[in-house]
């Protein structure tokens, strides 16, 4: 009998997902959820044909060179900046991600973070818990309105569109966006969204939500010069990736009130945070949980597992990022002797 393909699951996941994978694959799980350095991951990947990764597990040229048996990397994330996709394609390694299943949950969270930030929810709760609330005042934690305001969206993919829909249809917001490419007129009409230049977006938005993918091109897309263009009353929400915002420049802008407030779910160098962000009150900080509803995280894990199972049972993976490597997939999926 042919040996089952060996697959490493780099981080702890739902036990039922490990059980599903184990029906067809020899699974090396990390259910104690140790966070491995790249060297440790590389060591554990030796002899593995597949890997189940999360957004923090980097698969680059070095890892690929050290793990020639590797045939597929299935990311439990829609973002895949942890993959060197060109190097994977060159090495004939299939990459898959986990799109769609998290869109609505992430868009919900974008709104939650926007509302918490604009209406100063966490700041006021900290004040109350600290026993500082002694009287009602006309301007106590008075913030910005959401209904009727101008919602700016930078990056108009699936999640951006989910946020636009909520803003336009749920809160009567005027939606403006900037993206690499303009949406089709019928999509713009449905979303009631208007395409503008990046500079106009920065100048006009009352609330600016970042939902663009991270790449060398989007590194520090929001830094001191961009923040300076924004309204002093504006809020900035980063749901996308750390590194898109220059966190040091943002902390400074929040301190001197270049903008009013920010809500951040992702950080440069996370889980570490720029220390200045922890010192200022007008920022809502959450630990990369935008997709973290239980059904959605389960759906993301199952989609990554489905990709692995499809690949190793000779079926078409559901969400390939470099489908060109599937030419000759029959031999790619073969288990070792």
CB of 79 to ligand 8YV, least distance (A): 3
Minimum CB distance to ligand 8YV, residue 214 (Å): 9
Given the complex with ligand 8YV, which of 78 and 193 has the nearer CB atom? Answer: 78
Among residues 119, 241, 274, 297, the one annotated as catalytic is: 241
Which residues does residue 284 pair with via DSSP β-bridges, in sequence order?
263
Encoded tokens for 32: 């104690």
CB 71 within 8 A of CB 333: yes
Our answer to whether residue 241 is catalytic in this structure is yes
Q: How far apart are CA 186 and CA 200, in angstroms?
A: 22
DSSP state at residue 326:
G
CB of 127 closer than 8 Å to CB of 141: yes
Task: Look at residues 99, 323, 85, 64 and name the one whose alpha carbon lies nearest to residue 216.
Answer: 85
When asked if residue 323 is in the footprint of ligand 8YV (CB under 6 A), the reply is: no
Which CB sits closer to ligand 8YV, 80 or 227?
80
If you search the block for the tokens 């070792």, which residue do you land on?
336
Looking at residue 242, what DSSP letter applies?
Answer: T
Contact between 155 and ligand 8YV per CB under 6 A: no
Segment 256 to 315, residues that bind ligand 8YV, using CB under 6 A? 291
Is 212 near ligand 8YV (CB under 6 A)?
no
* Residue with the CB atom nearest ligand 8YV in the bound state: 55
Q: Rounded to a whole number, what is the distance in angstroms from the first to the last CA of the chain?
A: 9
* Contact status: 211 vs ligand 8YV (CB under 6 A): no
Q: Where would I find the H helices in 23-171? A: 38-45, 61-66, 85-90, 103-118, 121-129, 158-165, 171
Instruction: Provide the token pair at 124.
Output: 């006021």
Task: Using CB under 6 A, pick the residue from 5, 50, 55, 263 that binds ligand 8YV.
Answer: 55
Sole binder of ligand 8YV in the list 30, 54, 307, 319 (CB under 6 A)? 54
Rounded least distance, CB 98 to ligand 8YV, Å: 6
Q: Which two three-digit tokens encode residue 321? A: 């990022």
Closest to ligand 8YV by CB, 173 vs 221, is: 221
Residue placing its CB nearer to ligand 8YV in the complex, 59 or 102? 102
* Residue ranges of E strands in 173-282: 174-178, 193-195, 207-210, 235-238, 261-264
CB 55, min distance to ligand 8YV, A: 3
Q: Given the complex with ligand 8YV, which of 234 and 244 has the nearer CB atom? A: 244
Binding mask 77-106 for ligand 8YV (x = CB under 6 A): xxx----------------------x----
- Contact by Cβ (8 Å): 146, 115: yes
Say how many residues touch ligand 8YV, by CB under 6 A: 8
- 288 labelled catalytic: yes
Closest CA to 198 of 230, 167, 164: 230
Q: Which is nearer to ligand 8YV, 45 or 78 (CB)?
A: 78
Shortest Å distance, C-beta 234 to ligand 8YV: 24
Angstrom distance (rounded) from CA 70 to CA 91: 9
- As annotated, the active-site residues are 241, 270, 288
Q: Which residues are near ligand 8YV by CB under 6 A?
A: 54-55, 76-79, 102, 291
């Amino acid at each position: 009998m042919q040996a089952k393909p060996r697959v490493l699951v780099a981080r702890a996941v739902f036990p039922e997902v490990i059980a599903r994978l184990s029906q067809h694959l020899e699974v090396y799980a990390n259910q104690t959820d140790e966070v491995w350095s790249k060297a440790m991951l590389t060591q554990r990947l030796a002899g593995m044909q597949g890997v189940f990764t999360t957004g923090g597990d980097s698969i680059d040229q070095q890892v690929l060179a050290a793990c020639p048996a590797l045939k597929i990397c299935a990311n439990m994330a829609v973002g895949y900046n942890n993959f060197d996709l060109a190097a994977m394609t060159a090495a004939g390694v299939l990459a898959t991600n986990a799109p769609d299943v998290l869109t609505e949950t992430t868009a919900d969270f974008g709104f939650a973070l926007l509302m918490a930030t604009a209406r100063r929810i966490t700041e006021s709760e900290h004040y109350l818990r600290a026993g500082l609330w002694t009287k009602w005042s006309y301007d106590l934690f008075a913030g910005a309105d959401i209904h009727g305001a101008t919602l700016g969206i930078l990056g108009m993919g699936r999640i951006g569109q989910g946020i636009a829909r909520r803003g336009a249809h749920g809160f009567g917001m005027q939606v403006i966006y900037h993206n690499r490419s303009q949406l089709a007129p019928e999509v713009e009409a449905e979303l009631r969204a208007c395409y503008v230049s990046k500079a106009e977006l920065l100048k006009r938005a009352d609330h600016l939500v970042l939902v663009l993918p991270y790449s060398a091109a989007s590194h520090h897309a929001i830094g001191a010069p961009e923040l300076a263009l924004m309204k002093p009353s504006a809020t900035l929400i980063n749901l996308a990736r750390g590194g898109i915002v220059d966190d040091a420049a943002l902390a400074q802008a929040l301190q001197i009130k270049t903008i009013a407030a920010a809500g951040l779910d992702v950080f440069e160098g996370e889980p570490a945070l720029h220390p200045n962000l922890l010192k200022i009150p007008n920022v809502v900080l959450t630990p990369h949980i935008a997709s973290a509803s239980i059904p959605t995280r389960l759906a993301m894990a199952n989609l990554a597992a489905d990709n692995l199972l499809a690949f190793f049972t000779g079926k078409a993976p559901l969400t390939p990022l470099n489908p060109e490597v599937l030419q000759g997939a029959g031999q790619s999926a073969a288990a070792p002797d």
